[in-house]
Chain A
Amino acid sequence: MTATDVKQRTAEGVEPRGIARWFSGLNRDKLEQAVVGYLFVLPDLIGLIVFMVGPMLMALVISVTNWKLVGDPQFVALQNYEALFTDPKFGASLGRTFLYTLGFVPVIYTLSLGMAVLLTRKSRGNTFFRTVYFMPVAMSLVVAGVIWRFMFDPSNGLINVILSGLGLPTSQWTGHVQSAMVAVLIVSIWKGAGYFMIILLAGIQDIPSDYIEAAQIDGANRWQAFRHIIMPLLKPTSFFVLVVLTINALQAFDQIYVMTRGGPAYATYTTLMYIYEKAFREWNFGYAAAMSVALFAMIFVLTVVQVRYFRAGEVKA
């Protein structure tokens, strides 16, 4: 009863007054919504088209030319792509990119998850520990790379001093072909673990605690509760984290540039490093663009595979 009253009164209120009555045909509000809607979306839309979609299409165009800093670019069809297949440097850079990814994703995921689980325990100090683990988020990859390069100093760096103090073998770290990638990985993992810990922690906290309590009443221990309750329910978050980690790993640049410049002896020379040098050291835009498109295509396929794999796992579970 009162509801209808309100409705009628509101309907009266909507009735336009004065000159607006002239335009109060069916479409006045629709028109306003459309005008304001386009007005509000337009600046961002132009920005995205000019600075993202356009450049993406341009990358495809540039990749089929021999565009260099000087001279007019000419259409070369798929020559750049053909050259990629026989370029040992490209193949090796891809290998290192995937090696980096394989070293990065499982370790940082496990560490972040472990820290998230650790912090779900109801203990004093949780807030403090969370803040500390999360602190590297306040630091850029460049600064992280600089600090760790200092600590990894082969002769008297802090890490080697600690290692030898503990009676453990020391390493040349960024100074040696076999350890440089490990050093870069340690920095990347150190820098990112807290960030992904927060995402996973939020995911775990979204799981209703009744589920875990019910399992514990049924006699499940902490490990079983983790394995059979938390992990399956955390799957969407885990999946998201794994996809983002993979994408991040495949385009790692800052810390590598700062720590090793791709060296020593190309030991950390990833594809993005190669793209950067081809384009902005050798000024060979055509070839570099072809590499970037090829890398994008490979990552795209990889992501699709990941999604498929995840979906398949869902059906099974």
Chain B
Amino acid sequence: MKFSSRVVVVPQENIDTDQIIPARFLKVTDKVGIGSHLFEDRTEFQVEKGSQVLVAGNNFACGSSREHAVWALADFGFKAVVSTSFADIFRQNALKNGFLPIVVDPKTHALLKPGTLVTVDLAAQTLSIEGGPTVTFPIDSFAKTCILENLDELGYVLKHEAVISAFEKSA
């Protein structure tokens, strides 16, 4: 997984999941077209289509567990969000959808201006900034393998059926 894109920046800290996708759009039973409501009530963010990398302020996607937040970002066309930190549940949800929560230090974060061209290389775990540094980012090693090799986490756990059954008997 390697891609280059100009970034879109939503500079605020603590952008919560209600900002990403307001609750009134959670009444659906599928994921179709959910990206059309991304940041629906935050028009001042001026997030337009065409970019694959969103840059957001610290503690991105705090709040609710709604996976709709990831679905909306991905459906809109993003493949990664770069921030200085992410809420735990969002990070898990993102990785399960092959969507990258990329953590960088504040100095690197400050280099990312609207329109900055970046290249994300998951295998190398690097974010390269055009005319700037290439930095490495941490990512859960298991999630990385799953995304790169297109492995299915549920399939992985299902393979442990015998161990799960044994655990249930012993409990």
Does A pair with B?
no
Listed in ascending order, the chain A residues whose CB lies under 8 Å from chain B are none
Listed in ascending order, the chain B residues whose CB lies under 8 Å from chain A are none
